[in-house]
A and B are shown apart, each in its own frame.
Chain A
Amino acid sequence: MSGNGQASDDDLRALARRLRSHSLRMISQAKTSHIGSCLSVADILAVMYGRILRVDPKRPDWPDRDRLIMSKGHAAAITYAAVAEAGFMKEERLGEYARNGGQLYGHVTHVGVPGIEFSSGSLGHGLPVGAGMALTAKRAGKGWRVFVVMSDGECDEGSNWEAILFSGHHQLDNLTIVIDYNKIQSLDFVDKTLRLEPLADKLRAFGWSVREVDGHSVGELGRALASLPLESGKPNAIVAHTVKGKGVSWMEGKVLWHYRPPTPEELVTALAEVEAS
């Protein structure tokens, strides 16, 4: 079983390194976008799949599993890498990513991919669905939990705020969002596009309990996610402050790497940097 709580912080850091390396290889080989979005969420997914999620790779449909919805569906490469590392599918299948005839589309896809709870790619879809799952679990008195990993740019979508309003009202404390707050969206910096600040206060005003953490500290992420609900009767928001492109110095904080894939030469230096970290 994945996420049995036994993984040490060092184990999680090693997992995050592998997730970054997989993503770099997949995206470079497929010449697709969104490496920056994958690298910023690597530590979050390592903590989720490595320690927090109660899931069973042998039984992807186990009714009492925790659900993780990757709502920032453009960070698909690292999501497939995470379910492969968690044991839901063979690592070789990562070669299907954005490849003709494969099943691993460039945005998170559940069809033919065990461990993927929900397909995404159009932003603002994951949280309403997660809220519906959390409401179902709560009404049935079930202990399984729902996690939705979101991007900061995705917070522009009105559907999210509908669901944020709903989840606060219905006191869905079995629902947790983790916002990968890397400060860069598609075309520009978040602050220059549609300012989200004060994000934590906004969420609190909607009845959520909020914890702001360093989204690259597996220790901080692990502690925040180990003590859910943060407050009884309130949905949980982990605002994870991250750096777009984290782990490859020349990609960090650059809008360019939302879209550009690394060349084969760049891949070599990027992998060397990640593996030495």
Chain B
Amino acid sequence: MRTAFIQALNELADNDDRVCLIVGDLGYSVIEDFANRHPDQFVNAGVSEQNMIGLAAGMALSGKIVFTYSIGNFGTLRCLEQIRNDVCYHRANVKVVAVGGGLAYGNLGVTHHASEDVAIMRSLPNMTVVAPGDPVEARLATRAVVAHDGPCYLRLGKAGEPVVHTKEPEFELGRAVTVRDGSDVALIASGGMLATSDKVARSLAGQGLGVRLLSMHTVKPIDREAIARAATETRYVFTLEEHSVDGGLGGAVAEIMAELEPGHAPLKRIGLRPEFNKTVGDQNYLKALHGLDEETVLKTIQQIITRSYGRVG
């Protein structure tokens, strides 16, 4: 995803000298090409995230479109107040980019696990929160946040995420992409869980279930209409994210569904348990501990449907 992001950003910067990139001394083997091609549009702020966001706000308030780039928590939580006051309050045209969303840096430690970032970013006024689901969406999201005048948070995975979209989907901030349609269950996924959800959806469909898979790449502003339709046109809604079940995509969907008229489908949030990991593991290992591997997700969904409706399919 980060490769798709930086390629798209490079192309955007070629054609628009307002597009700038500030890194917090991170991005080895990712940002060099941008730095060489656009030296006047590039800054390495050093290991100083508060200053990085302040700089970005100052540059944006002087007419630039500024991307900041760091690892999950460093570029978001360390400098949260700068993002709130300097960027969001001033509607500065800053795009906060985090790589390693979720457990991408699994074995590097809990400091590197970005598991609350979406919840925190989406609580900020004026902030748009985007978690693309595959490299294709990452490229489209990069273009979309440049076109959007205002603060954005772009949450990326790392490298090597599988491509889900075989052809470019229609991509609009705030509008879910319907990857597959059906009326038995709805899977609403964001970020890197899109690929897992796609596989699970295929398995469920193979068992005769009508599965609707929505890529909810924009967590804020969220696509209320798509959620309301899923909740009234299908029998069970599942959210899938590599993020705490508290306050992220699942939280956002729950907020919408809680205010719908009675009689809609129930919701199950599938995501990270809201606790610090105690066991060392790479991304896939830790995801499995949280039940986010394909097999466990499939089993979880099947059990819930069987319990509620007596059978799958």
Contact = CB atoms under 8 A, between A and B. Distances in A.
A137 B62 contact: yes
B59 A135 contact: yes
A132 B58 contact: yes
B182 interface: no
Interface string A121-145: 1101101111111111101000000
A124 B54 CA distance: 10
B113 interface: no
Contacts of A120: 85
A254 interface: no
Range, interface on chain B: 20 to 34
Contact of B51 (A110, A121, A159): A159
Contacts of B90: 110, 118-119
A100 to B, nearest CB: 21
Given A162-B48, A165-B46, A132 B59 contact: yes
Given A119-B90, A125-B85, A137-B62, A131 B54 contact: yes
A165 B48 contact: yes
A166 B46 contact: yes
A101 interface: no
Contacts of A139: 40
A68 to B, nearest CB: 13
A112 interface: no
A129 B57 contact: yes
Interface in B41-58: 43, 45-46, 48, 50-58
A129 B46 contact: no
Contacts of B243: none
12 contacts: A119-B85, A120-B85, A128-B50, A128-B51, A128-B82, A129-B58, A132-B57, A135-B58, A135-B59, A136-B64, A139-B40, A163-B51
A144 to B, nearest CB: 9
A198 interface: no
Contacts of A137: 62
A122 B57 CA distance: 15
B58 A130 contact: yes
Contacts of A131: 51, 54-55, 58
Nearest to B41: A139
A127 B66 CA distance: 18
A127 B46 CA distance: 16
Contacts of B50: 124, 128, 158-159, 162
Q: Rank and list the top 4 A-B pairs by shortest CB-CB distance, nearest first.
A: A128-B54, A132-B58, A162-B51, A132-B55
B48 to A, nearest CB: 4
Contacts of A124: 50
- Give the dominant DSSP class at B's interface: helix
Contacts of A135: 43, 55, 58-59
Given A119-B85, A122-B81, A166-B48, A136 B53 contact: no
A159 B82 contact: yes
Contacts of B81: 122, 125
A128 B87 CA distance: 12
Range, interface on chain A: 20 to 34
Nearest to A131: B55
Interface centre among B53, B54, B57 (most CB of A within 10 A): B54
A71 B13 CA distance: 32
Interface centre among A119, A124, A129 (most CB of B within 10 A): A129
Contacts of B89: 119
B59 A133 contact: yes
A133 B45 contact: no
A159 B51 CA distance: 6
B154 to A, nearest CB: 19
A159 B54 contact: yes
Nearest to B40: A139
B40 to A, nearest CB: 5
Contacts of B144: none
Nearest to B39: A139
Nearest to A164: B51
Interface string B73-113: 00000000110011001100000000000000000000000
B56 A125 contact: no
B298 interface: no
A179 to B, nearest CB: 18
A137 B50 CA distance: 21
Contacts of A129: 54-55, 57-58, 61, 86
A120 to B, nearest CB: 8
Contacts of A166: 45-46, 48, 51, 55
Given A122-B81, A162-B48, 11 more contacts: A127-B54, A128-B50, A128-B54, A131-B54, A131-B58, A132-B54, A132-B59, A132-B61, A133-B61, A136-B63, A159-B48
